Amino acid sequence: MRCPYCHSEKTRVIDTSHDARGGIRRRRVCTNCDERFSTYERPVLATPLLVKRDGTREEFSREKLAAGIRVACAKRPVPAVEIERMVGEIEADLQQMGKAEVPSRLVGDKAIKRLRELDEVAYIRYAIVYLRLDDLESIRSEIDRLLQE
């Protein structure tokens, strides 16, 4: 592992911990400059290709999903750790399916379900784009449906 401060390749691990999703956090120290830093390792598993509405295929992008969720959660009391956890869970779900291709709608459905549980305002923001709620009446009916539950 290369030191992010002096770029030396002489580092050593001083602590290792595991998380529930199979990731490994390592605390490291550079033997050249004595700076400490953390690295996070997670297994690289194949994620399926996403089949879009128009039939095109696209690789799953963790960053693209996280960006969409961050926009929905902007100025809401949703910790960044929760967003990362949500994205990680969705990615793990896709990997565990073991399929080569899945509809992109599946990713959106998983995101919207988790957002609904996390923050109702963020859910509505995401739903406006994802469910294509393009007029006030459809947005209002979705809010009314949310309030009834």
32-89 residue pLDDT tens: 999 999 998 876 667 889 999 899 999 999 999 999 999 999 999 999 999 999 999 9
In this structure, are strands 101-103 and 49-51 parallel, antiparallel, or unpaired?
parallel
CA–CA separation, 22 and 43 (whole Å): 7
Calculate mean pLDDT across residues 100-113. Answer: 91
pLDDT of residue 132: 78
pLDDT tier at 110, thresholds 50, 70, 90: very high
Question: What is the full DSSP assignment across 24-66?
Answer: EEEEEEETTT--EEEEEE----PPPEEE-TTS-EEE--HHHHH
Which carries the bigger pLDDT value, residue 147 or residue 16? 16
Q: Among 47-61, 89-103, 120-134, where is mean pLDDT lowest? A: 120-134
8-35 residue pLDDT tens: 999 999 999 987 666 799 999 999 999 9
Tell whether pTM > 0.85. no
pLDDT of residue 134: 78
Q: Give me the residues paired with residue 13 across strands.
A: 28
